[in-house]
Structures are given as structure tokens and as C-alpha cells.
């Protein structure tokens, strides 16, 4: 292996990935496994975790493991840490990727995504997963890494950590103004909060060799309606949404020694959307 390839090598490293049963969680796990690391999938969806762990282990020949864990519960995260140490003996990487992506169904009279109708319970649930869950996982796994020679934390933010949602792209024809759907306020708050958490933890653990960075992906193409895709891609200099595997390179970069002099920053991978 060349010296350059060594920088990206994750052989022997164990990476905990929250939201591992989701769309991008699987891609992060593939990236880790392809670089030689061992992914640990964490999600509330037990069956999908089990299926993905089996598929990853077979495809990449790595001892991937998974566990149903609610990251809003500190005791469950502690139990997960104990199990990972028991089964794999080390923890090197944490990717805080889980998020609440609730379907904001509209009733006949109210669209709950809109700020004036957004339920407090939804606000609390979204913050609990996206922000409190990332804080709790960082606390449990970051403290472990800080006491064991170092490690890496990657917080999955969004282009909407840098810019406001352009609510025009979510509009639906023929729907009255007060019923038009919007990107919920919690999305911006959670993603901006993750960038703040990144800076805090990066400076807090710098002397313990725990590097902490964020990644801000743009939207991934996943079969969204064509009119929405057109409106969104008009806002993106590269003129398209991301392919599903297009963040794998950035994830390996941030998790590996290739980014050894980076901490406290936010790697924006958004097709240029936030530069306009």
C-alpha cells in the first residue's frame, strides 16, 4: 500500500454509526468497511440493523455488529459501549448520524410542519434525537476515546446548517397558503446546533487526541418527485442532487488519518449550494 493510501486506511478501527439502519447510515457503514474498519450499527430499527450487519459482514468480510439502541437514553448508550468493548475490544470512531425525519402529515385544516402549528412535542422529539442523542453519544463514546488515547467523532449536519431552507421548493400547487408544507424549524436548529457541538467538543478534547468534525451534506436523490428535484437542483451549482454513495469519500477522509490536522470544522459537501 502506498503511503497516501495508508492515510485513508481504517484497518482494525471500530466505528459506531448511529442511525445505521437509515439511508445514509448504510452508506457510512459501507465506507468504513471498504476502508478496512468494523462498523457498529446503532438504530431503533432492530430488524433492519440485523439484516444490514449480516450483509456488510458477508460483503466486506468484517466483523460488523449492531444493536437496537435508543440514543436519547443514556443508559442504553452505556450498555452499547459495554457490549462493543466486550465484543470488539476498542472504539475509535463515532458517527452521529441519526435524526428524526418524521412525516409531517397535514390534516384537512392544519399543516403541522408550519411554524405557527408546529407541535411542541415534535420540537422536543426532534431535538431529543438529533441534538441530545448526538450529545449523549459524544459524552459516552468521546469520554471513552479521551481516556484511551484518542479517536474521531463526525457529526452529520446538513447544508441547512449554513443556509435557511428555501421554503419555495417544498410548495405544492393548488394548496392554500396556510396549508403549504415547509421544512420544519427543528431541522435548521438541530443541524446548526451540531456544528456548535462540533466546535465545543473539538476544543474540549484537543489535548486528548479526540478530533471532532462535522460534515454538511446536501440532498441525496432518493426518488423524490420530479418537480421538487427540478426546483432544488436549480439552487445547486453542480445542477443535481447527490448520488447515494457520494459522501463515502468524505466520511473516510474525516474518520481516517488523512484528516489528522483537522478538528472543529465543518466539511461542506453540497454541490456548491451554499456558495450561491
Ligand X SMILES: NC(=O)c1ccc[n+]([C@@H]2O[C@H](COP(=O)([O-])OP(=O)(O)OC[C@H]3O[C@@H](n4cnc5c(N)ncnc54)[C@H](O)[C@@H]3O)[C@@H](O)[C@H]2O)c1
**Residues of this chain that bind ligand X (CB under 6 A):** 18-19, 21-25, 43-45, 70-72, 97-101, 129, 133, 156, 158, 217, 219-220
Residue closer to ligand X, measured from CB, 124 or 178: 124
Q: Are 271 and 238 in contact (CB under 8 A)?
A: yes
Strand ranges inside the chain, DSSP E: 14-18, 38-43, 65-68, 93-96, 151-156, 210-217, 266-269
Closest CB to ligand X among 35 and 80? 80
Residue nearest to ligand X (CB): 22
The half-sphere exposure of 138 on its side-chain side, counting CA atoms within 13 A, is 29
Q: Which is nearer to ligand X, 55 or 179 (CB)?
A: 55
Instruction: Please enumerate in sequence order all residues whose Cβ is within 8 A of that of 67, keeping only pairs 6 or more positions apart, or say none.
Output: 40, 41, 42, 49, 80, 83
Q: Which is nearer to ligand X, 98 or 255 (CB)?
A: 98
Q: For residues 90 and 246, what is the distance between their CA atoms, to the nearest angstrom?
A: 28
Which of these, 102, 36, 94, lies nearest to 69 by C-alpha position?
Answer: 94
CB of 216 to ligand X, least distance (A): 7
Rounded to whole angstroms, the Cα distance separating 167 from 115 reads: 12
CB of 175 to ligand X, least distance (A): 23
CB 205 to ligand X: min, Å: 22
Residue among 148 and 192 whose Cβ is closer to ligand X = 192
Nearer to ligand X, 97 or 198 (CB): 97
State the nearest-atom distance from the C-beta of 251 to ligand X, in Å.
11
Least distance to ligand X from the beta carbon of 149, Å?
27
Report how far apart, in Å, the C-alpha atoms of 230 and of each of 93, 169, 216, 220, 225 are: 37, 9, 21, 13, 9
Nearest approach in angstroms of CB 157 to ligand X is 7
Amino acid at each position: 500500500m502506498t503511503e497516501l493510501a495508508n492515510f485513508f486506511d481504517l484497518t482494525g478501527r471500530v466505528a459506531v454509526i448511529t442511525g445505521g439502519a437509515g439511508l445514509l447510515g448504510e452508506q457510512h457503514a459501507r465506507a468504513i468497511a471498504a476502508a478496512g474498519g468494523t462498523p457498529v450499527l446503532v438504530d431503533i430499527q432492530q430488524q433492519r440493523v440485523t439484516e444490514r450487519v449480516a450483509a456488510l459482514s458477508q460483503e466486506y468480510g468484517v466483523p460488523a455488529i449492531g444493536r437496537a439502541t435508543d440514543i436519547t437514553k443514556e443508559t442504553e448508550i452505556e450498555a452499547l459501549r459495554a457490549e462493543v468493548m466486550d465484543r470488539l475490544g476498542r472504539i475509535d470512531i463515532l458517527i452521529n448520524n441519526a435524526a428524526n425525519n418524521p412525516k409531517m402529515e397535514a390534516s384537512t385544516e392544519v399543516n403541522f410542519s408550519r411554524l405557527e402549528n408546529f407541535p411542541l412535542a415534535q420540537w422536543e422529539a426532534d431535538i431529543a434525537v438529533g441534538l441530545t442523542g448526538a450529545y449523549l453519544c459524544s459524552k459516552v463514546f468521546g469520554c471513552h476515546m479521551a481516556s484511551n488515547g484518542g479517536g474521531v467523532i463526525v457529526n452529520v449536519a446538513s447544508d441547512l446548517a449554513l443556509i435557511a431552507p428555501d421554503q419555495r421548493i417544498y410548495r405544492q400547487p393548488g394548496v392554500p397558503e396556510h396549508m403549504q408544507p415547509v421544512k420544519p424549524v427543528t431541522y435548521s436548529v438541530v443541524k446548526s446546533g451540531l456544528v456548535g457541538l462540533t466546535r465545543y467538543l473539538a476544543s474540549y478534547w484537543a489535548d486528548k487526541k479526540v478530533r471532532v468534525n462535522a460534515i454538511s451534506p446536501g440532498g441525496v436523490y432518493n426518488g423524490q418527485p420530479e418537480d421538487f428535484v427540478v426546483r432544488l437542483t436549480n439552487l445547486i451549482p453542480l445542477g443535481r442532487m447527490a448520488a447515494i454513495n457520494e459522501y463515502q469519500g468524505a466520511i473516510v477522509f474525516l474518520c481516517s488519518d488523512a484528516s489528522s490536522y483537522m478538528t472543529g470544522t465543518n466539511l461542506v459537501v453540497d454541490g456548491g449550494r451554499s456558495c450561491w
